[in-house]
Amino acid sequence: MLFRRLQETPQNLQRAGMTPTPARRGFMRPNEVTALFLVATVIAVAVYDVIAGIFYGDEATITHVVQEWGKKYVLLTIIIGIVLGHLFWPARGPKSAVPEPKQQPAPPSDLSKPLQPPLP
């Protein structure tokens, strides 16, 4: 993937008969930066949780603290559930991955002519 991106320079795209997109700047797209940030954050939290568990015991882990807060502050658990549900619920709207069904146009009606029964 990295090698392919390095090849997608404006000069190479023009040689291939393609037009470069002017909106793309920098090495990574914004959604890729966000995904990289999320993955790095999850890995950092997991590493911290393991190190805290090894050196300081189970009571120092993030897992233990979150479980204790969940028992003590029930509203916090509900709020976290709503936020996570919001993040993972499928989006509906103009950029939705689910296409809207297309409606067939109504056939034109000519009311100026009288209706005639079909011929035998």
Query: Residue 90 in contact with residue 97, Cβ under 8 Å?
Result: yes
The DSSP letter of residue 52 is H
User: Does 43 have pLDDT greater than 50?
Assistant: yes
pTM: 0.50
Question: Sorting pLDDT into bands at 50, 70 and 90, what band is 61?
Answer: very high
Residues 6+ apart with CB under 8 A from 49: 61, 62, 63
Question: Backbone phi, then psi, for 118, in 5-degree steps?
Answer: -65, 150
Query: Residue 23 in contact with residue 30, Cβ under 8 Å?
Result: no
Residues 6+ apart with CB under 8 A from 62: 45, 48, 49, 52
Question: Sorting pLDDT into bands at 50, 70 and 90, what band is 47?
Answer: very high
CA distance 28 to 30: 6
CA distance 34 to 81: 21
